[in-house]
Copies of this chain bind each other. A is one copy, B any other.
Amino acid sequence: MVKKYVLVSGGVISGIGKGIIASSTGLLLKTMGLKVTSIKIDPYLNIDAGTLSPLDHGEVFVLNDGGEVDLDLGNYERYLDVTLTRSNNITTGKIYRDVIERERKGDYLGKTVQVVPHITDAIQDWVERVATIPVDDSGEEPDVCIIELGGTVGDIESAPFVEAMRQFQFRVGHDNFALIHVSLVPTIGSV
């Protein structure tokens, strides 16, 4: 079976329930008998959540491999009954650090290293690689990967990830990529 990807993004305001939508979607797919894994993208420069104040994003969640990550990964583990790794949490810091280190080692020798295509490729490679890692006792590769994109579409912080995911639907094929966009829809009463 070809791997499927579901991207959950948000707009207008944050804190609107992307994590719950992502976890629930994963659980529904699991109920249908699919193996589900998940990736949380946090577009901040911290390498991990270990240095973050719990007042900003809630408790830091500690994974079995010692990774200190966003608490959304705790929800995923409990909803989906899986065991994730620190690689299931992508941050801007991790991606840029990797690309900058590879640049210094000469991996891009002669090239002008840019957000497009080098950062966006690195993001896509990371997602594709992590999506294959087994996360339950069966030791089998997941069928579906839920990707939650933190932050808000339109922020300068998430722009490289939005572009990477835009490209990703072409890399994996439109039939294998679904987008759920969670947004504020203002409603008014009598006017």
Chain A residues near B (Cβ < 8 Å): 12-16, 43-47, 51-53, 56-57, 92-93, 96-97, 99-100, 103-104, 106, 108-116, 118-119, 156-157, 159-160, 163, 184, 186, 188, 191
Contacts and interface: CB of A to CB of B under 8 A. Distances in A.
A14 to B, nearest CB: 7
Given A45-B118, A52-B112, 18 more contacts: A12-B186, A14-B191, A43-B114, A44-B112, A45-B99, A45-B100, A45-B114, A46-B113, A51-B103, A51-B111, A52-B111, A56-B110, A92-B115, A96-B96, A115-B157, A116-B156, A156-B160, A159-B159
Given A53-B111, A116-B156, A186-B186, A45 B96 contact: yes
Contacts of A157: 114-116
Contacts of A156: 115-116, 159-160, 163
A186 B111 CA distance: 24
Contact of A46 (B45, B46, B112, B186): B112
Contacts of A53: 110-111
- Counting chain B CB atoms within 10 Å of each CB, which of A47, A115, A163 scores highest? A115
